[in-house]
A = this chain, B = another copy of it.
Amino acid sequence: MTTTDRSAGVTVLPMPDLSPTFPGPFPSSPHADHIQAHVGQWLHRFPLLGPPDARRTLCDIVAHGVARTFPTAEPDGLFLCADLFLWLTAFDDTYGEATAAGSPAQLVRRIQGCLHVLADGEPPGDADPFDEALQDLLVRLRTRATAAQYLRVSCCLRDVLFGILWEAHHLAEPDHVRLHDYLAMRPHTVLVRTLIAVAEVVLRYELPEEARNSQAVRQAESAVADLAGVLNDLGSYARESAKGVPNSLNLVSLITREQSCDIPTAYAAASLLGEEHAAAARHGIGALATSDSAPLTEHAGALESIACSYIWHINHARYKKA
């Protein structure tokens, strides 16, 4: 394990060493600037975020993140993925976390509006930018995806919204959260399951159902999903610690409680877990990549670049800034 984060001026927290499994440098799409211009315009059409600073930072991380998530994709697919990621992040920033913990019932009502749109309901008379933007995303998704691909993403979006709600109910009482349940929720709240489902739509391939339900695909997907969750937790814990308010609903905090240990020990354990997931992901992706099936090798490529985008992600300014 290497020790990084000295720049943040806080206790040195041992980040995982992923160089043996995902050495980098990670390829990026030549359309990154294009994506950034597009999300700026999309946010102008659907004003999901008020403060210009927050908007600029979010557009930057989403554009460059998606450019790394799907470096070989064509612009239209990248735009759709970026807008979707932006919508989910802006929704969480606006309605989730601290705001939601204060009034879970209010969040339940907000999510109900989104579920109505997801369930093909008529748009409400008082639709706000989040409803309208979601409607726009679903129309574009439906045009580009097969029926099953569309529904798979639709399931993932419901799971993310439930995840935001789940977090809101536990921020105030993290003691009720078992590590096992937290780890089960994380792939949804960190959006990686959505990205995996969106990959086929963005890159225009389709896994045969038998392959999708195979142990090989499930194992590789789970390893990437778990890796994404751990990395995000390590990144956000370091960031929040630097601000002096580490999130109590975080893998590191949960490990300190479950194992009655101090923070550096818990952080080291989480880092080690990240390295283990990275090794499992590398192994699983490798097995799919050498298969004879074209969609399986495409899926391997997508899982690889999704993993890389999360590794890249935690070094972005949104995580570095105290």
Interface of A with B (CB < 8 Å)? Answer: 104-105, 108-109, 111-113, 115-116, 118-121, 124-125, 146-148, 151-152, 154-155, 158-159, 162, 165-166, 169-170, 173, 176, 180-181, 184-185, 188, 193, 209, 218
Given contacts A148-B147, A165-B108, whether A119 and B176 have CB atoms under 8 Å apart is no
Question: Once the chains bind, are B112 and A166 in contact (CB under 8 Å)?
Answer: yes
Across the interface, do A112 and B185 meet the contact criterion of CB distance under 8 Å?
A: yes
Contact of A181 among B112, B146, B151, B155 (CB under 8 A): B112
Inter-chain contacts of A109 with B (CB < 8 A): 166, 176, 181
Q: Known pairs A121-B184, A151-B155. 14 more at Cβ < 8 A?
A: A104-B169, A105-B176, A108-B165, A112-B181, A115-B162, A116-B184, A119-B193, A124-B180, A146-B148, A147-B148, A147-B209, A151-B154, A155-B158, A158-B159
Tell me how many chains of this kind the complex includes: 2
Chain B residue nearest to A118 (CB atoms) is B155
Q: Considering the chains assembled together, what is the distance between the CA atoms of A142 and B120 in angstroms?
A: 23
- Nearest-neighbour CB distance to chain B for A97, whole angstroms, equals 15
Q: Which B residues are CB-close (under 8 A) to A152? A: 151
Q: Do residues B155 and A112 form an inter-chain contact, with CB atoms below 8 A?
A: no
A104-B104, A148-B151 given; A112·B184 CB < 8 A: yes
Residues of B close to A118: CB separation below 8 A:
155
Docked complex Cα distance between A105 and B159 (Å): 17
Task: Give every chain B residue within 8 A of A166 (Cβ-Cβ).
Answer: 108-109, 112
Hey, which chain B residues are within 8 Å of A173, CB to CB? 105
Evaluate contact between B159 and A115: CB separation under 8 angstroms. Answer: yes
Query: A119 to B188, Cβ gap below 8 A?
Result: yes
Cα separation A148 to B118 with both chains bound (whole Å)? 15
In whole angstroms, what is the CA distance A176 to B116 when docked? 18
What residue in chain B is nearest A151 (Cβ atoms)? B151
Closest 5 pairs (CB-CB, A-B): A151-B151, A147-B148, A105-B169, A148-B148, A158-B158
CA A113 to CA B184, docked complex, whole Å: 9
Given contacts A124-B180, A185-B112, contact A158 B162 (CB under 8 A): yes
List, in ascending order, chain B residues with CB within 8 A of A120's CB: 218
Identity of the chain B residue whose Cβ is nearest the Cβ of A113 in the assembled complex: B181
Among B121, B151, B159, B170, contact of A119 (Cβ-Cβ < 8 Å): B159
Nearest residue, chain B, Cβ from A184: B116
